[in-house]
């Protein structure tokens, strides 16, 4: 799965980073794996797409399905924030589409923000400095975040 993530319980934050070829299946796998833990209810989320080298273009319907799955996993009484760092035009556009579908779903309780840089996303999450990101797998060259 080309999404690595770590949970920062002190900050109540799930930090994820995509890398390499990014497909809709990878995102569904991440969503259902990382967020199946009910102990994460109310945690904020940060996903960084800086290291994604290629995106397997999903259909609008697939993005809507992902937004629906994500909203269904929320706890309605607990508000949280989800920041997507998407530096490329394609990733940014897909993130914005996800945001619209996610926030239109009445079951969702996460506020979604889509940003070009990590520095723009941090204030949205109430952070003053970058969290510790999960390590990239061997062979993936780190880009400036």
| Alpha carbon distance, N-terminus to C-terminus of the chain | 20
Given a cut of 70, whether residue 133 has pLDDT beyond it is yes
The pTM of the full predicted model, rounded to 2 decimals, is 0.91
Which residue reads 């579908």 in tokens?
101
pLDDT on residue 58: 81
Distance between CA atoms of residues 79 and 25, nearest Å? 26
Given a cut of 80, whether residue 142 has pLDDT beyond it is no
70-110 per-position pLDDT tens digit: 999 888 788 899 999 999 999 999 999 999 999 999 998 99
For the chain, the C-alpha Rg in angstroms (whole number) is 14
Distance between CA atoms of residues 56 and 66, nearest Å? 15
Distance between CA atoms of residues 122 and 83, nearest Å? 8
Backbone torsions φ then ψ of 87, nearest 5 degrees: -75, -25
pLDDT on residue 48: 96
26-75 per-position pLDDT tens digit: 898 999 999 988 889 899 999 999 999 888 888 889 999 999 999 998 88
Taking the CB of residue 81, how many other CB atoms lie within 10 A of it?
A: 17
Which residue reads 């999404």 in tokens?
3
Structural domains of the chain, with CATH:
3-124 (3.30.750.24)
Distance between CA atoms of residues 40 and 129, nearest Å? 21
């Amino acid at each position: 799965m080309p999404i690595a993530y770590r949970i920062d319980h002190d900050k109540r934050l799930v930090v994820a980073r995509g890398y390499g070829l990014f497909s809709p299946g990878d995102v569904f796998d991440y969503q259902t794996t990382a967020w199946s833990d009910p102990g994460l209810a109310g945690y904020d989320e940060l996903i960084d797409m800086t290291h994604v080298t290629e995106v397997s273009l999903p259909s609008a319907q697939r993005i809507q399905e992902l937004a629906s799955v994500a909203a269904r996993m929320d706890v309605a009484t607990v508000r949280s924030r989800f920041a997507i760092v998407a530096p490329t035009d394609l990733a940014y556009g897909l993130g914005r589409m996800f945001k619209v579908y996610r926030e239109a779903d009445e079951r969702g309780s996460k506020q979604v923000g889509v940003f070009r840089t990590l520095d723009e996303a941090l204030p949205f999450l109430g952070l003053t400095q970058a969290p510790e990101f999960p390590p990239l797998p061997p062979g993936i060259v780190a880009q400036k975040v």
